[in-house]
Amino acid sequence: MNNLRKIGLSALAGSLATFSVNAAEVSVSGGASISLDDTNRGGNEANGTRGNGFYMGDSLKFNMSGETDGGLGVAVYYEIDGGALDDYDMTLSGDWGSLKFNGSGSSSAFGAVDDVTPNAYEEAWDIVDDDGTATTGSPTVINGGGGANMFIYTSPSVGGATFTMAYQNDGGGAAVAESYTDFAIAVSPEGIDGLTVGYASSDNQEGVAVDAAETTMYAKYAWGAFTVGIQNSDRDHTTANSDQESQSMGITYAINDDFSIGYNKHTVDFESASLDDQVSTGISASYTMGGMTLAGATNEVDNIAGTAARDTEGYEFTLSFAF
């Protein structure tokens, strides 16, 4: 019995090896970076390992793809980050578009376009943290929902229009959120080079009789060395005085093929009269030479989460290498 089992396993391993060589493509890529930021300011040691402001990033990415006899494309992606398995997903594709199952790491259809206004490094509300003087948390952003174990469908482009839809099964129940669904559409008119307009919507039941509906719309236009963009988002919540509206704008200028600079601004208006507008501004730059990129930004946020005088600022600079 043991000998037969060994023969069977050997035959199976041989057939799998043959399939991998003949029908699948495997590629490995990665990157490493050294960053400097001021996360540990004001006595807040949220990231204790960054006491001197410097830290290292690393990523090793594995892509495997092939095609079945019926013409169905199959691709699997794994990323090792910080020595541990981080993001992973599987994608099926064909003439009908693609369907990705995100095990970990992907954005929902709405989350992928929560702020697409141009910048050279990060959004104006990013790279800033609690400075240790209050507990109001991170800047407010209208950014959809979703998370791990999510299906994401992307249509083929039709006349410059692409449709994306995300679904996450949360199981429902009397005391938990129901399944999450959102969608987005982006249009790059074939007759207008450089223009992209888009819209996204989500409707998420966060709990019993607690519903959050979010929408966003944007427009970006690239002309010569300049790219400009504007975006408006809304969040309607069943809780009284909890609605939000945000406006953002950005502009980047490509000094040459390798060097770009950008300015970005983001404002959140709160329905509650007790909350002030949250205003974020950021200046960013990026320089690329071959597989090396040096990029950074300095951002400032006033009235975080609507709290008056809850102001903070931050900077981050990263030297990264891709291989």
Average pLDDT over every residue of 290-313: 93
Helix (H, G, I), strand (E, B) or coil at 188: coil
Smallest CA-to-CA distance from 144 within 101, 202, 199 is with 202
Average pLDDT over every residue of 210-221: 93
Amino acid in the structure at residue 304: I
At residue 50 the predicted structure's pLDDT band, cuts being 50, 70 and 90, is very low
At residue 263 the predicted structure's pLDDT band, cuts being 50, 70 and 90, is very high
- The count of other CB atoms within 10 Å of the CB of residue 292 is 11
Average pLDDT over every residue of 251-272: 97
The confidence score (pLDDT) of residue 79 equals: 96
SS3 content of the chain, % helix, strand, coil (to 5): 10, 55, 35
Q: In this structure, what token pair is assigned to residue 293?
A: 């990129």
Average pLDDT over every residue of 233-256: 95
Q: In this structure, what token pair is assigned to residue 301?
A: 């946020």
Work out whether the CA dihedral 65, 67, 68, 73 comes out positive or negative. positive
Average pLDDT over every residue of 204-219: 85
- Segment among 42-46, 112-116, 130-134, 307-311 with least mean pLDDT: 42-46
The confidence score (pLDDT) of residue 177 equals: 60
Amino acid in the structure at residue 171: G
Average pLDDT over every residue of 109-125: 95
Which range, 102-116, 195-209, 262-276, is most confident?
Answer: 262-276
At residue 70 the predicted structure's pLDDT band, cuts being 50, 70 and 90, is confident
Residues with Cβ within 8 Å of residue 286, at least 6 apart in sequence:
120, 121, 259, 260, 261, 293, 294, 295
At residue 46 the predicted structure's pLDDT band, cuts being 50, 70 and 90, is very low
The confidence score (pLDDT) of residue 118 equals: 97
Give the residue with greater pLDDT, 135 vs 15.
135
d(CA 91, CA 108): 15
The confidence score (pLDDT) of residue 18 equals: 36
Strand ranges in 68-112 using DSSP code E only, listed in sequence order: 73-81, 84-94, 97-104
In the block, tokens 């931050």 appear at: 314
Work out whether the CA dihedral 101, 103, 108, 114 comes out positive or negative. negative
Amino acid in the structure at residue 153: Y
The model's pLDDT over 131-185, given as tens digits with 9 standing for 90+, comes to: 445 444 689 999 988 778 999 999 999 999 999 999 988 754 445 567 788 999 9
Q: How far is CA 106 from the centre of its chain?
A: 7
The confidence score (pLDDT) of residue 76 equals: 96
- Asked whether the predicted pLDDT for residue 69 surpasses 90, the reply is no
- Asked whether the predicted pLDDT for residue 49 surpasses 70, the reply is no
Give the residue with greater pLDDT, 148 vs 113.
113
Average pLDDT over every residue of 238-246: 93
The confidence score (pLDDT) of residue 183 equals: 96
